[in-house]
């Protein structure tokens, strides 16, 4: 997920988000009479056009999904009793011991970094959105676009060069004396925030720009203090967007693999590291399908995250129009 491009606040992206509620209805309604006039034949031909995508999807997505669904519930081929028999032991052992610790570690890291990202990102985005200088605004937004898309191995190396054991900042400030180490849970959190905070800024800025000046003025006319305005007007309006942003950050940091792998390997218990280890054959004999069960665990968590995110995104779109 770290290397996955996120929408940039370029005019094009804003266009797409701004019209999220209604887009496409116009062309569709124009196309509808044509479709009915031509009748069935053109409809069938249209499905033919989508055939390549469907075939590809069945192979690229369907087969791995089936492999996980079957593999997670059967014994692997190197098991003593032969492969292919139904079992729940993969799933139960993926939720016990070191693997459970790793799952908890991932959830903890994601929850913490997403929380910090949200809490830091909001005032920062507000400071940027209300800045009088157009230049500052545009520079921060495009910079955020770059950093939110920057991740993976290069990010890890940059931080090793900065805060690692021989890093420039570590040596020049003598941070080791204070017990600093990049290769810990906290170190990883600092690295993740480097792309999570910018991600929060580009996610929440459209919502902040949707706050009308009139609301603030109306609150002020009724004698509300600045705090009261935020407590009773702005935050309730922003809440769906904020929660949605939090969930998005959680998902991004939960799915991240490359940065942690390049920086700390599996010395920090994270579910993605454990899966990588298990896939490279780093498990006991007969537990080859354990990795598939771990993958299933991860998909379930990510699916829950999406199930929360999508309705929130729809709700917050209401205020952006």
Hey, which residues between 13 and 72 contact other proteins (CB under 8 A)? Answer: 13, 15-16, 19, 23-24, 27-28, 30-32, 34-35, 38, 42-43, 45-50, 52-54, 56-57, 59-61, 63-65, 67-68, 70-71
Residue 47: strand, helix, or coil: helix
Q: Which of 4, 88, 218, 235 binds other proteins (CB under 8 A)?
A: 4
Give long-range contacts, CB 8 A cutoff, 24+ apart: 180-188: 182/263, 183/263, 183/264, 183/267, 183/268, 184/268, 185/105, 185/109, 185/268, 187/159, 187/163, 187/263, 187/264, 188/109, 188/259, 188/260, 188/263, 188/264, 188/268
Q: What is the DSSP letter of 281?
A: T
Find residue 86's DSSP bridge partners.
74
Least distance between other proteins and beta carbon 96 (Å): 18
CA distances from 239 to 148, 217, 231, 312 (A): 22, 20, 11, 9
Query: Measured between alpha carbons, how far is 189 from 170 in angstroms, rounded to an integer?
Result: 17
Interaction with other proteins in 74-103: which residues (CB under 8 A)? 77, 83
Question: What b/e string do you get for 144-171 counting C-beta neighbours within 10 Å, with b at 16 or more?
Answer: bbebbbebbeebbeebbeebbeebeebe
Q: Among the candidate windows 109-117, 143-151, 214-222, 233-241, which touches other proteins by CB under 8 A?
A: 143-151
Give phi and psi for 74, each to the nearest 5.
Answer: -125, 160
CB 133 to other proteins: min, Å: 10
120 touches other proteins (CB under 8 A): yes
Nearer to other proteins, 94 or 241 (CB): 94
Q: Does 151 bind other proteins (CB under 8 A)?
A: yes
Give min distance, CB of 167 to other proteins, in A.
Answer: 7
CB contact at 8 A, 319 and 210: yes
The whole-angstrom separation of Cα 103 and Cα 298 is: 8
Residue 291 as a binder of other proteins (CB under 8 A): the answer is yes
Is residue 314 near other proteins by the rule CB under 8 A? Answer: no
CB 245 within 8 A of CB 313: no
Select from 104, 169, 220, 285 the one that contacts other proteins (CB under 8 A): 169
Q: Considering only residues 115, 161, 235, 285, which one is a binding residue for other proteins as defined by CB under 8 A?
A: 161
218 contributes a contact to other proteins by CB under 8 A: no
Please give the residues from 247 up to 286 whose contact with other proteins meets the rule CB under 8 A. 254-255, 257-258, 261-262, 272, 275-276, 279-280
Residue 57: CB minimum distance to other proteins, A: 5
Q: Annotate each residue in 182-201 with x if it binds other proteins (CB under 8 A) or - if it does not, as one string.
A: ------------x--xx---
> What is the nearest approach in angstroms of other proteins to the Cβ of residue 49?
3
**Region near other proteins per CB under 8 A, out of 96-104, 180-188, 205-213, 291-299:** 291-299
- Per-residue binder mask for other proteins (CB under 8 A), 99-118, x = binder: --------------------
Question: Which DSSP category does 315 fall into?
Answer: H
Tell which one of 155, 188, 189, 196 touches other proteins (CB under 8 A). Answer: 155
Q: Three-class SS of residue 74?
A: strand
Tell which one of 105, 117, 167, 206 touches other proteins (CB under 8 A).
Answer: 167
Size of the site for other proteins (CB under 8 A): 106
């Amino acid at each position: 997920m770290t290397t996955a491009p996120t929408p940039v606040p370029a005019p094009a992206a804003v266009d797409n988000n701004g019209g999220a509620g209604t887009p496409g209805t116009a062309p569709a309604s124009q196309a509808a009479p044509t479709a009915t006039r031509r009748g069935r034949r053109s409809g069938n031909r249209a499905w033919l056009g989508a055939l390549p995508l469907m075939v590809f999807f069945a192979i690229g997505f369907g087969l791995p999904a089936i492999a996980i669904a079957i593999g997670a519930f059967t014994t692997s081929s190197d098991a003593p009793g032969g492969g292919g028999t139904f079992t729940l032991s993969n799933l139960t052992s993926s939720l016990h011991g070191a693997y459970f610790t790793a799952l908890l570690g991932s959830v903890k890291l994601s929850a913490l970094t997403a929380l910090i990202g949200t809490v830091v990102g909001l005032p920062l985005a507000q400071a940027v959105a209300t800045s009088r200088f157009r230049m500052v605004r545009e520079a921060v937004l495009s910079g955020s676009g770059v950093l939110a898309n920057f991740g993976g191995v290069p990010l890890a190396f940059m931080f090793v060069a900065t805060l690692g054991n021989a890093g420039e900042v570590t040596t020049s400030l003598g941070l080791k004396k204070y017990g600093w180490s990049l290769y810990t849970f906290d170190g990883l959190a600092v690295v993740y925030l480097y792309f999570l905070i910018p991600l929060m800024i580009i996610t929440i800025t459209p919502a902040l720009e949707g706050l009308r000046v009139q609301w603030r003025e109306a609150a002020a006319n009724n004698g509300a203090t600045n705090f009261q305005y935020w407590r009773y007007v702005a935050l309730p309006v922003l809440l769906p967007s904020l929660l949605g942003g939090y969930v998005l950050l959680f998902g991004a940091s939960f799915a991240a693999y490359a940065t942690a792998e390049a920086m700390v390997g599996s010395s920090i218990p994270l579910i993605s590291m454990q899966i990588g280890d298990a896939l490279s054959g780093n498990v006991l004999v007969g537990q080859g399908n354990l990795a598939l069960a771990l993958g299933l665990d991860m998909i379930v968590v990510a699916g829950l995250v999406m199930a929360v995110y999508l309705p929130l995104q729809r709700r917050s779109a209401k205020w952006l129009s």
